[in-house]
């Protein structure tokens, strides 16, 4: 029986055998014991499943991987040390020097740097596109060396809701892998694999963990992309000499296997057992939390929309929002806790507002249980001129608010008091 998402949050990923711990124990061990040489040889040949070294796999990390894999509806998942490493490993599994990838221009700042600056140094070109552009325009960027299309379900911090099926159709037409960063929506609010995405990546440092306790990332392989005979992906179709001549395209879950066996082996950005444990138990309450984050955010957005000192507000729950219709399709059960808004007036006014908040704290983090704010123009983006800020889609008065799971009345009254002081 296919269980519902609330049940999977609580139950998926780990099943104890008789007498074993009810929740996954922290397997704080680099290595694993085998008395028989052949048993270990079979592991190295990928003929048997099991653990031998925690850089490749670990039982606690496997429990968390299993949970996220079940939530997204994939065939395999790989726990990573951070969301950034999950994104980097995804690219390196598919692309090399001379190749290119496509990425929506409004993405997480770290991803923008990785794709625009670091990948360029390695010979991989990133072609950025406007997520709202017509498919025909985005299509022009695809050529024979395009290995990946990448975008976020809900872009951070622009809060753009992606038309997933528009991009999926394009990717399918050209036989290109389509990966989605589903960090801000979470599988509770949206499962992009059901809309045609091939790979999901997460920064589990955000809602999945939920407590701002553990940095982490996950890659989920949807398992449906057919690499076999696809000329775009020779590295999946020729024998991997570094792995006894394995041809990945012939395997079920080709992407996930290549990613772990090749890239995790060589780059070692694996999740730690302790962080996997924290992220696993964090996910137990994910469905409940996303419901509350979404409800609170909807109330806060409706309040701010009518406030005379607010110039504009961006949350897809608002009927006037540009992404309201897309959110109805892709995020019908809640639009999450992330929003941005602009205060009328100067940069100084924004700083004054932030300092007047008492409950809501200033942080660079987002998407955990506590409400928090950030003013990019005076922190993360402070080196940019007003013109550059505009080009980056971050107006000088933009305030990013991550609505937590406190009582919504308390969040609103904190905002109200602070707005009185500007």
Query: Which residues here bind ligand PLP, judged by CB under 6 A?
Result: 82-84, 108, 110-111, 152, 156, 181, 183-184, 203, 205-206, 215, 217
Handedness of CA 18, 5, 183, 173 (dihedral sign): positive
Residue 110's nearest CA partner among 90, 83, 150, 92 is: 83
Residue with tokens 């692309």: 95
* 236 vs 334, beta carbon nearer ligand PLP: 334
> 116 phi and psi, to 5 degrees?
-80, -30
Minimum CB separation of residue 363 from ligand PLP in Å reads 12
| Residue 372 CB coordination number (10 Å) | 20
Inter-CA distances, 422 with 354, 396, 416, Å: 10, 16, 10
* 110 vs 116, beta carbon nearer ligand PLP: 110
Residue sitting closest to ligand PLP (CB):
83
* 43 vs 339, beta carbon nearer ligand PLP: 339
Minimum CB separation of residue 80 from ligand PLP in Å reads 9
Q: What is the DSSP letter of 3?
A: P
Write out 202-263 in H/E/C secondary structure: EECCCCCCCCCCCCCEEEEECCCCCCCCCCCCHHHHCCEHHHCCECHHHCCCHHHHHHHHHH
Minimum CB separation of residue 93 from ligand PLP in Å reads 17
* 220 vs 310, beta carbon nearer ligand PLP: 220
* 57 vs 114, beta carbon nearer ligand PLP: 114
Task: For residue 393, list its beta bridge partners.
Answer: none
Write out 154-170 in H/E/C secondary structure: ECCCCCCECCHHHHHHH
Q: What is the DSSP letter of 31?
A: B
Minimum CB separation of residue 25 from ligand PLP in Å reads 24
- In Å, how far from its chain's centre is CA 197? 13
* 150 vs 227, beta carbon nearer ligand PLP: 150
Minimum CB separation of residue 367 from ligand PLP in Å reads 7
Minimum CB separation of residue 204 from ligand PLP in Å reads 7
Judge contact between 399 and 381, C-beta under 8 A: no
Minimum CB separation of residue 39 from ligand PLP in Å reads 35
* 110 vs 345, beta carbon nearer ligand PLP: 110
In three-state secondary structure terms, 81 is coil
Minimum CB separation of residue 132 from ligand PLP in Å reads 18
* 110 vs 253, beta carbon nearer ligand PLP: 110
Q: What is the DSSP letter of 16?
A: P
CA angle 212, 275, 193 (to 5 degrees): 85
Minimum CB separation of residue 190 from ligand PLP in Å reads 13
- In Å, how far from its chain's centre is CA 346? 33
Buried/exposed code over 75-104 (b: 16+ C-beta within 10 A; e: otherwise): bbbbbbbbbbbbbbbbbbbbbeeebbbbbb
In angstroms, the CA 40 to CA 36 distance is: 7
* 64 vs 108, beta carbon nearer ligand PLP: 108
Minimum CB separation of residue 365 from ligand PLP in Å reads 8
* 129 vs 150, beta carbon nearer ligand PLP: 150
């Amino acid at each position: 029986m296919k269980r519902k998402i609330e049940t999977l949050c609580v139950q998926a990923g780990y099943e104890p055998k008789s007498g074993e711990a009810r929740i996954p124990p922290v397997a704080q061990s680099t290595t694993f014991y085998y008395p028989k040489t052949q048993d270990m040889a079979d592991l190295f040949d990928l003929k048997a499943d099991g653990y031998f070294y925690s850089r490749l796999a670990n039982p606690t990390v496997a429990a968390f991987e299993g949970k996220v894999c079940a939530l997204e509806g994939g065939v395999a998942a790989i726990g990573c040390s951070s969301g950034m490493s999950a994104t980097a490993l995804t690219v390196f599994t598919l692309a090399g020097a001379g190749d290119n990838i496509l990425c929506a221009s409004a993405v997480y700042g770290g991803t923008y740097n990785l794709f625009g600056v670091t990948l360029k140094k390695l010979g991989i070109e990133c072609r950025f596109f406007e997520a709202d552009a017509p498919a025909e325009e985005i299509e022009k960027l695809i050529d024979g060396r395009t290995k990946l299309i990448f975008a976020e379900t809900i872009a951070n911090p622009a809060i753009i809701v992606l038309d997933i099926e528009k991009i999926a159709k394009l990717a399918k037409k050209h036989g290109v892998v389509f990966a989605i960063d589903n960090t801000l929506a979470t599988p509770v609010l949206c499962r992009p694999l059901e809309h045609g995405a091939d790979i999901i990546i997460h920064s589990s440092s955000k809602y999945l963990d939920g407590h701002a306790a553990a940095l982490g990332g996950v890659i989920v392989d949807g398992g449906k992309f057919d690499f076999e005979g696809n000329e775009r992906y020779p590295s999946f179709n020729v024998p991997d000499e570094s792995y006894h001549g394995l041809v990945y395209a012939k395997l079920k879950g080709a992407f996930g296997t290549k990613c772990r066996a090749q890239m995790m082996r060589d780059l070692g950005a694996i999740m730690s057992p302790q962080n996997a444990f924290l992220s696993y138990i964090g996910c137990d309450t994910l469905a409940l939390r996303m419901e509350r984050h979404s409800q609170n955010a909807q109330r806060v957005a409706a309040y701010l929309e009518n406030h005379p000192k607010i110039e504009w507000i961006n949350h897809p729950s608002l009927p006037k929002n540009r992404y309201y219709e897309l959110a109805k399709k892709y995020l019908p059960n809640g639009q999450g806790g992330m929003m941005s808004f602009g205060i009328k007036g100067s940069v100084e006014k924004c700083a004054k507002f932030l300092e007047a908040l008492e409950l809501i704290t200033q942080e660079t983090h987002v998407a955990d249980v506590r409400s928090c704010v950030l003013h990019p123009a005076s922190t993360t983006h402070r080196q940019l001129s007003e013109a550059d800020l505009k080009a980056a889609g971050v107006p000088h008065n933009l305030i990013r608010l991550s609505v937590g799971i406190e009582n919504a009345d308390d969040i609103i009254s904190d905002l109200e008091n602070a707005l009185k002081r500007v």
